Structure 1
Amino acid sequence: MRINWKGAFQCAGVQSAFTKSRWMRARATPNMTRIDFYTHVTDRAGVVCQLTAKAVAQGKRVMIFTSSPAETDAIDQRLWTFNQLSFIPHCRANHALANETPVIIDHLSDNIPHHEILINLHADWPRFFSRFERLMEIVSQEHEIATAARQRFRYYRDCGYDIQSHNLSHLGN
């Protein structure tokens, strides 16, 4: 794993007395969040549904972090109609059954009941992403979304995270 010391110290906000060797032991752990960027996506909601369905089939729990109430509603509706032969159980973070539901959709980060997979649709990096085992960034070809994703990519890289990129242009999603 490559660690950018300058970026790592900036990202962590650590004191200068904190040594590089202690920092490396603290950051280079098996529990570090895995980050995947899915790029060149034409249908973000469709890819979110596909990744969510795959994760749920594997017994994982997913938090879909949206940028607005309208986007939350759109993803909610898309999950209902994604596959006519199956259902992906989901609800909002403030719902009474959120603790038992495998998929949470919300634009707020206050009441997240689990920390396995985070799918980010927000323009900014989620301040709470490191609580999750895995972060998935879904990047379309729209200029604003791609530009914001590049900034998030740089931020994660500068913090020392190993990032995997998946170009989905060949899928015509």
Structure 2
Amino acid sequence: MTDATGPEIWFYHLERSTLDQVLPELLGRTLQRGWRALVRVAEERRLEDIDERLWTFREDSFLAHGRADEANAGRQPILLTQSMENPNGAQALFIVDGSELGATESYQRCFIIFDGRDDTALTGARQRWKDLKGQGANLAYWKQTDEGWQKAA
């Protein structure tokens, strides 16, 4: 749900799990809501890794998806990209590996996923939080606990 300041922007601080474990779960929940998703990455190599992972993350299922540089990108429920565009009309934006957030007005929710065990990623996420908070963004911070994800701010 959006408010006057834009979409909800949720920070996911990975401490116990990897992106490969968390991203498919969050994407699955996004699809269950009836939303489309856009996963924005900074590097081509990461795009390739996520592409492969979404086809193989479980033996009994996969997450249908495509890449923005392929035909029919706009028809994909999950789209992987390095671009700032939203060709599939996604309601959920996933930012990984410090990729740029860009304009967020067209999204209902943005997920900024970062590895808390990586000092560079942690520093970048803290700065991004500070900048967005200063802009009046609708922020939430989720951290991993032994019981699962807990909203901490």
Same fold, judged at TM 0.5 (above): yes
Q: Is the contact between residue 69 and residue 107 of structure 1 (CA under 8 Å) also seen in structure 2? A: yes
Alignment counterpart, residue 147 of structure 1, candidates 119, 123, 143 = 123
Of 33, 40, 46, the residue aligned with 2:14 is: 40
Cα distance change on mapping 1:122 and 1:129 into 2, 3 Å: farther
- Partner amino acid for 1:36? W
* TM, length-normalised to structure 1: 0.76
> Aligned to 2:105, what secondary structure does the other structure show?
helix
Classify 1:139/1:170 alpha carbon distance in 2 versus 1 (closer, same or farther; 3 Å). farther
Match of residue 112 from structure 1 = 87
**1:101 offset after TM fit, Å?**
1.0
How far apart in 2 are the matches of 1:169 and 1:44?
Answer: 16
What residue number does 1:19 align with?
none
Find out whether 1:49 has 2:24 as its counterpart.
Answer: yes
What amino acid is the match of 1:143?
A: D
Equivalent of 2:70, from 95, 99, 108? 95
Distance, in Å, in 2 between the alignment partners of 1:58 and 1:143 is 33
Give 1 or 2: higher strand fraction: 2
Q: In structure 2, what residue type is equivalent to 1:147?
A: T
- Could you list the per-position Cα deviations for residues 4-43 of structure 1 after superposition, in whole angstroms to 9, with x for gaps in the alignment? xxxxxxxxxxxxxxxxxxxxxxx952x7211111113430
- Structure of greater Rg: 1
Paired residues, number: 146
Q: Distance in 1 between matches of 2:37 and 2:99?
A: 19
Amino acid at match of 2:9: I
Structure 1, unaligned runs of 5 or more: 1-26
Structure with the largest fraction of helix: 1
4+ residue stretches of structure 1 with deviation over 3 A? none
Q: Give the corresponding residue for 1:61.
A: 36
Counting aligned pairs with the same residue, the percent is 23
Q: Following the alignment from structure 1 to structure 2, what is the Cα–Cα distance between the partners of residues 154 and 130?
A: 19
Change (3 A) 1:116 1:28: closer
Alignment partners' CA distance in 1, 2:139 and 2:76: 28
Paired letter, 1:33: P
Gaps of 5+ in 2: none
User: Of the two structures, which has the highest relative contact order with CA contacts closer than 8 Å and spacing of 6 or more?
Assistant: 1
Q: Secondary structure at the residue paired with 2:73?
A: coil
